[in-house]
Amino acid sequence: MVATQRNGRSNLSADSASGPEILRGSAKSRRILQSLASGKRGKSIARLLTSSFFVLLFACSTSVGTTETTDLRPSHQRKNGYQNNYVEYQSKSLGEILRWKLSAASTGLPKTPLQATPMVAADVNFIRANAEAGEAMQPAITWIGHSTVLVQMGGLNALTDPMFSDRASPLSWLGPKRAQPPGLEITQLPRIDVVLVSHNHYDHCDEHSLRALNAQIGGPPRFIVPLGLKTWFNKIGITNVTELDWWESYSQEGVDFVLTPAQHWSSRSLTDHMQTLWGGFAVFARDLHLFFAGDTGYSKDFSDINERFFGRQNGKGFDISLIPIGAYEPRELMREEHINPDEAVKIHQDIQARQSIAIHWGTFETTDEALDQPPRDLADARRKFGINDDAFVALAVGETKKLPRRTVGDKDRSAERNR
Ligand SMILES: [Zn+2]
Ligand SMILES: [Zn+2]
């Protein structure tokens, strides 16, 4: 169930028929909600509606996967959907969600940010020239906002969780609204070769953005998605899709993309809870090893990832990682599904990242911490865990970080050759 956001109207696709009336946005329910949100107390009501809407859509479900496993299937594949490796994710009850939202509203959370998320004009000339450079491409990361990152490595242009729309929602008029425009518009992007989608939540899997990328000049990119998502992509007319289970990989022009486990969940409606898989990506190019964590809670999955690739990386870990630092309060509700900055630093250490870039903060207000709180907590976490300030950084939206090429020793070269 997804809305495109052109012409300011909700344009729901066919699968929205399974959603409840209010989510289908009937003219009557829409009028009632809009009039509620426009009065004197409209701002706070609109805020409550927006956050409740987000949570209702994302966190509630009438069905929970059972803990029963099916013979011969990996333990994360269950009869009734997918599960995590180290925690049995249970959906929150409607009561829990409403209590949380009412308590947050009564205590004035989330607080209004003191500072806007920093933003710089993107270096479009460098990005475009680098995109065409082939062998001479310099490894570079550009933060477009939220979890959307342009990765230039191994001669390829890859994009993580493309999100360019105004709201992370199936509706164009209700749901979390972005705090600032993306650092690059879709039309400013170079031709994208590969799109990595970590899971199907609206802030990571945005129909409008995906359709636009599919229609880019020069032909559609390859979309790499977790198990179960291909059907949805096909339904919206995207067919250039590779679906991966955890630890499976796809190679394009010498660059390997491996889907890695994460501790999270999936849902786009009230009836599809845990029906598609979620994950992160380990990407191996000759000039850069990159890790993109997706959306995740903290678990042993990250030391598993380090162990899994230890030989391939000759014990050197990743050159760069993209790790979420936002959407973590209140802790008792968010712990299993979203790391806080302390845990982000632990993941940075678990996977032996030389450097990490903070993502999933400063764009959509969905939880109780203020939009500008995550980088402050990240600074505390760096001190607490004794890592240098430049080892884990929060970039400005639109900023490009140029990276040194991975130095490949003789041993690494033979390991790369023999894989
Ligand atoms: Zn998510
Ligand atoms: Zn998210």
Q: Determine the residue type at 44.
A: S
**pLDDT for position 26:** 43
What are the DSSP calls for 186-207, one per residue?
Answer: GGGSPPPSEEE----STTTS-H
Tens of pLDDT, residue by residue over 401-414, are: 999 999 876 456 55
Cα of 333 vs centre of ligand 1, distance in Å, is 14
- Lowest-pLDDT range of 79-93, 154-168, 202-216: 79-93
- Which amino acid belongs to residue 226? P
Question: Using 50, 70 and 90 to split pLDDT, how confident is the model at 53?
Answer: low
Mean pLDDT of 162-179: 95
311 CA from centroid of ligand 1 (Å):
31
Q: Ligand 2 centre and the CA of 168: distance in Å?
A: 9
198 C-alpha to ligand 2 centroid (Å):
10
Tell me, what amino acid is at 408? V
- Please report, for the chain, the start and end positions of each structural domain, with discontinuous segments joined by +: 124-417
pLDDT at residue 91, as a whole number: 85
For residue 197, how far is its CA from the centre of ligand 1 (angstroms)? 11
pLDDT over threshold 60, residue 370 = yes
Least confident of 37-41, 49-53, 386-390: 37-41
229-279 confidence digits (pLDDT tens): 999 999 999 999 999 999 999 999 999 999 999 999 999 998 999 999 999
Distance from Cα 314 to the centre of ligand 2, integer Å: 32
48 CA distance to ligand 1 centroid (A)?
20
Residue 407 CA to ligand 1 center (angstroms) comes to 34
CA of 121 from ligand 2 middle (Å) equals 25
Residues lying with their CB under 5 A of ligand 2, a single-atom ion? 203, 295
Strand pairing report for 77-78 and 11-12: unpaired
d(CA 270, ligand 2 centre) in Å: 17
Dist. CA 296 → ligand 2 center (Å) = 9
For residue 93, the model assigns a pLDDT of 87
Query: What separation in Å is there between the alpha carbon of 264 and the centre of ligand 1?
Result: 7
Q: Check: CB of residue 327 under 8 Å from CB of residue 367.
A: yes
Mean pLDDT over 150-157 rounds to: 98
| pLDDT tens sequence across 102-112 | 999 999 999 99
Residue 90 scores a pLDDT above 90 = no
How far does residue 369's CA lie from ligand 2's centre (Å)? 14
Cα 25 to middle of ligand 2, angstroms:
23
What tens digit of pLDDT does each residue of 278-320 get? 999 999 999 999 999 999 999 999 999 999 999 999 999 999 9
**pLDDT over 70 (residue 47):** no
Q: Give residue 249 CA to ligand 2 midpoint distance, Å.
A: 23
Q: Would you state the pLDDT for residue 401?
A: 98
- Tell me what pLDDT residue 9 has: 27
Pairwise pLDDT comparison (8 vs 69), residue with the higher score: 69
Distance (Å) from CA 56 to ligand 2 centroid: 15
**DSSP run (H or E) holding 222:** strand 222-226
Å from CA of 198 to ligand 1 middle: 8
pLDDT at 297: 98
As a whole number of angstroms, the distance between CA 55 and CA 53 comes to 5
Distance CA 275, CA 199 (A): 11
Say if residues 305 and 282 touch (Cβ distance below 8 Å). yes
How many angstroms is it from 295 CA to the middle of ligand 2? Answer: 6
More confident residue, 418 or 97: 97
* CATH H superfamily, domain 124-417: Ribonuclease Z/Hydroxyacylglutathione hydrolase-like (3.60.15.10)
- How far, in Å, is the centroid of ligand 1 from the Cα of 315? 30
Banded model confidence at residue 367, pLDDT cuts 50, 70, 90: very high
**What pLDDT score was predicted for residue 2?**
30
CA–centroid distance, 164 to ligand 2, in Å, is 14
Distance from Cα 370 to the centre of ligand 1, integer Å: 18
Q: Output the CA 181–ligand 2 centroid distance in Å.
A: 17
Distance from the alpha carbon of residue 92 to the mean position of ligand 2, in angstroms: 16
The pLDDT-based confidence of 419 (bands split at 50, 70, 90) is low
The number of the ligand nearest the C-alpha atom of 325 reads: 2
Q: Which residues are CB-neighbours of 244 under 8 A, at least 6 positions away?
A: 224, 225, 226, 227, 250, 257, 258, 259, 279
Look over the chain and give the mean of its residue pLDDT values, rounded to a whole number.
86
Q: Is the pLDDT of residue 365 over 80?
A: yes
The number of the ligand nearest the C-alpha atom of 326 reads 2
Distance of CA 33 to the CA centre of its chain: 29
H or E element that contains 256? strand 255-260
Q: What number of other Cβ atoms are within 10 A of residue 186's Cβ?
A: 17
Give the start-end residues of each E strand in 267-335. Answer: 280-285, 288-292, 318-324
Distance from Cα 40 to the centre of ligand 2, integer Å:
31
| Residue 36 confidence (pLDDT) above 80 | no
CA angle 258, 240, 163 (to 5 degrees): 75
Band of the pLDDT at 74, cuts 50, 70, 90? Answer: confident
- Distance separating alpha carbons of residues 185 and 324, to the nearest angstrom: 22
